[in-house]
Amino acid sequence: MAVIGYMRVSTHFQKFDSQQQALEDYGVDMIFKEHESGRKSFRSELNKALNVLEPGDTFVIFKLDRLARGTKQLLVLLEKFNEQNINFVSIENNIDTSTPMGRFFFTIMSAFAEMEAELIRERVLAGLDAARKKGVVLGRPPLVEQVSEALDLYHNTKMSAEQISKHCGIATSTLYHHLRKEGVYRTKTTLDFIEMSERLVSSGEKKFK
């Protein structure tokens, strides 16, 4: 069973000294060193460390902020370790998930994360409710200009509904929805009229050239 160490500094000007000493004193078999911000979701050295871990191994860091900058990010990694039967140790924070107290820490972390998500959800719903009471129209803004252009093209050109929808950036179903509201559709007479108008315009242009 391997003991994998991971340490991180944000810039190349910072030193690993205290982290490396603590990891070596713990007795890690391998250390992965990262020069990267903790806010980044993708960190190459962290990914390498996670990929070598196997069930029964132990993942060791110096402090929690070396691994993650937020509760959610940390909890995702802890859940992954728990599912894969990997022990997690944070030396400075006295956390070891191979012990009852360490597993209790993981449970508390999960509870806080769930509570945080529920509070955010409640605040969002309360904000939406308050906005509705003030008469604010929620949802996507209406495509007024696009629909107007689409209806104009439908009535005054021979473009198909699909071509019009693509040109105006709206769904074909949206175009048909507004046509149903108007109760007006193309007929053969309409198309013949459009074609005749185009011929007249074309012949007029040729005449005055």
Question: Annotated active-site positions, please?
Answer: 10
> What distance in Å separates the CA atoms of residue 55 and residue 2, rounded to the nearest whole number?
10
Find tokens 């996507």 and name the residue: 140
SS3 49: helix
Asked if 66 and 7 count as a contact pair (C-beta separation under 8 A), the reply is yes
> What distance in Å separates the CA atoms of residue 6 and residue 153, rounded to the nearest whole number?
62
Alpha helices in the chain (DSSP H): 17-26, 44-52, 71-83, 100-133, 144-156, 161-168, 172-182, 188-207
Asked if 86 and 53 count as a contact pair (C-beta separation under 8 A), the reply is yes
Spell 8-20 as b/e; 16+ CB within 10 A means b.
bbeeeeeebeebb
Token digits for 57?
A: 């191994």
Bridge partner residues of 4 (DSSP): 30, 59
